[in-house]
Amino acid sequence: MDNKDHPKTDELRGKAEAKLRQSSTLPKDLTLDKAKVIMHELEVHQLELEMQNQELRETQHRLEELRDLYTDLFDFAPVGYLVVDKKGVIKNINLTACMLLGLERSLLIGKPLSAYMSSGQSIKLFLNLNEAFKNGNLPSFELIMKDRKNRTFTALLQGMIPNYSKSSDTCRISLQDITELKAAAALKKEHDELQLEKEKIQRYLDLAPVVFLLIDSDHKVQMINQKGCELLGYKRVEILGENWFKKFVIGHDNTKVDPANESFQNNKLLLKPYVENFVKCKNGEKRLMGWTNIALLDNSGNQIGTLSSGEDITQRKKEEATKQRYMEELETMVGERTKELSDALENEKQISEMKSSFVSIASHELRTPITIVLSSIILIEKYGALGQFEKQKKHFNRIKSSITHFISILDDFLSLDKLEKGVVRVNKETFDLPNFINFTIGEMEVMLKEDQKISYTHSGQRNTTQDKKIFRNILLNLLSNAIKYSEKDIELTTVENNGTLTLKIKDQGIGIPEEDSQFLFKRFFRAKNAEDIPGTGLGLSIVERYLDLLKGSIEFTSQENIGSTFTVQL
Ligand code: ADP
């Protein structure tokens, strides 16, 4: 055995040899054989001792390891440990407890544990310690403790008196920070209560006749009532956690902010209080829903979800649409009927206006030429008896002119009646225009006043293709007006240019007042300055109607007391 490795063994050997030298004497009868036996015995003993020594060293080593292990276990245990005396003074404390109190071990040992408690808590410690030293057991209890930085925490203490006897003077205590544990327990309690509350609400909502839906800010369904499940045809578990818009809403674009439910205003997401959308049911059916939405906000006012109540409005909407269509149809019908009635009324009004105008015109206008005829006949009789034939001739002419006038009035009424009834048909023929005009002028000569002449010029092709009767009526009307409303000569020109006929009649008469010119073609309208001249106010309106039939046009220029020019284009 190498003694250099074991200085302690060397030392012991030295001491043992010295002792032997003092006490023992070698036996006098020591023979070589006896010595050999003793030697052997001694060698065996030495070997035994060395083995025992080795065993002891190994045990010591294991003990040291165990001590280290226990020190580690003591110091680094997740729970704080401390040893206190009867007065609560700290005798030993592990690292975890030191960390809890925020101080080094050397600063804590010898200090009263009560120094690290909130006020009013130490009494609890002393009462419990007192109990512990009476029965050897420290029951678990809670204390509000504080660390070096005055941070308070809830500690759970419990312990025992090792090898308890009346004379025991130390108590071992475990110290645990249960602040978070308590908070978690409180949270769990709150959660459990909420869960119960949620289940209660769910039961109430399940009884509701409308759909109730709760979705979170990711649009995931957090709650849906029985009615909602029935409507969609899914089991509740098949709906919960699903993206509402993606799975159940038709036509929803998930890449955008939900256009149906939310909108931005001043950069803030706002919920629309009411929306309508189609949802798809498990059986493929689609239902139109009307949703009333409420935003659920957290304490900072951020939207964390939406609670919506929804009603299946498919049937109602259909009925509304039918009603709306029916109403629209009814309105159209009423509108049409009203129009028909008001047209009829207007027609009736016009007819009655025409009738009364006709009565007053007939009584006045037709009376005048007949009176003239009558007075002329009386005078003709007289002049005949007196042999004054010249004067008789004059009155024959007056009778002729009055009858022409009479006929022209009747013609006007007849024309108007025909035009109104729509029985006038256009019948075009080709004829020699200047010949036709000259013939008509001849017819009109009887109407001309003294010293009044009609000068006529034509340019362009002679032949024209028109409805002769209508054209004659237009010409007669315009020409008779020019004669009637002027005393001086009248200029008549026609131009036939490759199918376009222009007729111009220029007089030097009373003209048309500016303010009356816009009403000139209205039936029965007569200008202010024409009141003393006989007329019906029908001629120009008839001309206009004829021109409509022929797709022609008429315009005029006029100046009061200078004259008027009427131009017709066909
Ligand atoms: P009437 O001559 O029978 O009154 P018209 O319809 O032919 O009816 O004419 C309407 C009105 O236009 C006339 O009352 C008259 O005031 C005005 N008018 C028509 N032609 C002329 C004209 N050549 N010169 C002045 N006024 C005219």
Q: Ligand 1, residues 477, 540, 564, 566: which to mutate, most atoms within 8 A of Cβ? A: 540
**Which atom from ligand 1 is nearest to the alpha carbon of 540?**
6
Q: Tell me the pLDDT tens digit for each residue of 327-361.
A: 999 999 999 999 999 988 888 887 777 666 666 66
Cβ(523)–Cβ(544) below 8 Å = no
Spatial separation of the C-alpha atoms in residues 153 and 179, rounded to whole Å: 6
Using DSSP bridges, classify how beta strands 454-460 and 490-497 pair: parallel, antiparallel or unpaired: parallel
Counting residues of the chain whose pLDDT is more than 70, the rounded percentage is: 91
Asked whether 509 lines ligand 1 (CB < 6 A), one says yes
Residue 157, phi then psi, degrees to nearest 5: -115, 140
The predicted structure's pLDDT at residue 438: 92
For range 36-61, the mean pLDDT: 90
* Protein residue with its CA nearest to atom 3 in ligand 1: 535
**Residue 322: pLDDT over 50:** yes
Higher confidence at residue 152 or residue 201? 152
Asked whether 520 lines ligand 1 (CB < 6 A), one says yes
- Helix or strand run (H / E) with residue 431: strand 428-432
For range 146-171, the mean pLDDT: 92
**Residue 430: pLDDT over 70:** yes
Give the list of residues 6+ apart from residue 500 with CB closer than 8 angstroms, or none: 569, 570
Q: Which residues of 131-160 are buried (b: 16+ CB within 10 A; e: fewer)?
A: ebbeebebeeeebebbeeeeeebbbbbbbe
Interval between CA 514 and ligand 1 midpoint (Å) = 13
* Cross-strand bridge partners of residue 560: none
Q: Please count the CA atoms within 13 angstroms of the CA of 67 that sit on its side-chain side.
A: 6
For range 443-463, the mean pLDDT: 89
Interval between CA 536 and ligand 1 midpoint (Å) = 9
Asked whether 507 lines ligand 1 (CB < 6 A), one says yes
The predicted structure's pLDDT at residue 270: 58
Spatial separation of the C-alpha atoms in residues 426 and 201, rounded to whole Å: 87
Q: DSSP character for 235?
A: -
Q: What is the mean pLDDT of the chain?
A: 86
Rg (the chain; Cα; Å): 66
Asked whether 361 lines ligand 1 (CB < 6 A), one says no
The predicted structure's pLDDT at residue 426: 83
For range 100-113, the mean pLDDT: 94
Q: Tell me the pLDDT tens digit for each residue of 520-543.
A: 998 888 999 998 888 888 889 889
Cβ(223)–Cβ(213) below 8 Å = yes
Asked whether 537 lines ligand 1 (CB < 6 A), one says yes
The predicted structure's pLDDT at residue 23: 64
**Which atom from ligand 1 is nearest to the alpha carbon of 510?**
25
Residue 405 neighbours by CB distance under 10 Å? 20
* Protein residue with its CA nearest to atom 16 in ligand 1: 527
Residue 271, phi then psi, degrees to nearest 5: -100, 135
Spatial separation of the C-alpha atoms in residues 65 and 292, rounded to whole Å: 73
Q: Ligand 1, residues 520, 525, 568: which to mutate, most atoms within 8 A of Cβ? A: 520
**Which atom from ligand 1 is nearest to the alpha carbon of 563?**
24
The predicted structure's pLDDT at residue 503: 95
Interval between CA 413 and ligand 1 midpoint (Å) = 16
The predicted structure's pLDDT at residue 6: 54
**Residue 364: pLDDT over 70:** no
Counting residues of the chain whose pLDDT is more than 90, the rounded percentage is: 51
The predicted structure's pLDDT at residue 446: 76
Interval between CA 499 and ligand 1 midpoint (Å) = 29
Asked whether 538 lines ligand 1 (CB < 6 A), one says yes
Torsion over CA: 78, 79, 83, 88 (sign): positive
Count of residues making up the chain: 570
Q: Tell me the pLDDT tens digit for each residue of 79-91.
A: 999 999 999 999 9
The predicted structure's pLDDT at residue 221: 94
Q: Residue 72 has which token pair?
A: 């580690």
Interval between CA 408 and ligand 1 midpoint (Å) = 14
Asked whether 482 lines ligand 1 (CB < 6 A), one says yes
**Which atom from ligand 1 is nearest to the alpha carbon of 566?**
23
- 389-421 helix and 367-386 helix, angle to the nearest 10 degrees: 160
- Residue 372, by phi and psi: left (phi above 0), alpha (psi -120 to 50) or beta? alpha
**Residue 409: pLDDT over 60:** yes
**Residue 243: pLDDT over 70:** yes
The predicted structure's pLDDT at residue 495: 96
Diameter of the chain measured on Cα atoms = 231
Asked whether 523 lines ligand 1 (CB < 6 A), one says no
**Which atom from ligand 1 is nearest to the alpha carbon of 526?**
14
Interval between CA 481 and ligand 1 midpoint (Å) = 6
**Residue 139: pLDDT over 80:** yes
Higher confidence at residue 268 or residue 49? 49
Q: How far is CA 393 from CA 209, 219, 442, in A?
A: 107, 111, 19
Interval between CA 419 and ligand 1 midpoint (Å) = 20
Give the list of residues 6+ apart from residue 140 with CB closer than 8 angstroms, or none: 156, 157, 158
DSSP per position, 290-336: EEEEEEEE-TTS-EEEEEEEEEE-HHHHHHHHHHHHHHHHHHHHHHH
Interval between CA 510 and ligand 1 midpoint (Å) = 10
DSSP per position, 244-261: HHHHHBTT--TTSS-TTT
Q: Ligand 1, residues 481, 487, 512, 536: which to mutate, most atoms within 8 A of Cβ? A: 481
Q: Residue 424 has which token pair?
A: 């006038």
Confidence of residue 266 (pLDDT cuts 50, 70, 90): very low
**Which atom from ligand 1 is nearest to the alpha carbon of 535?**
3
Interval between CA 439 and ligand 1 midpoint (Å) = 23
Q: Ligand 1, residues 483, 504, 512: which to mutate, most atoms within 8 A of Cβ? A: 512
Interval between CA 526 and ligand 1 midpoint (Å) = 6
For range 492-506, the mean pLDDT: 94
* Protein residue with its CA nearest to atom 7 in ligand 1: 539
**Which atom from ligand 1 is nearest to the alpha carbon of 541?**
6
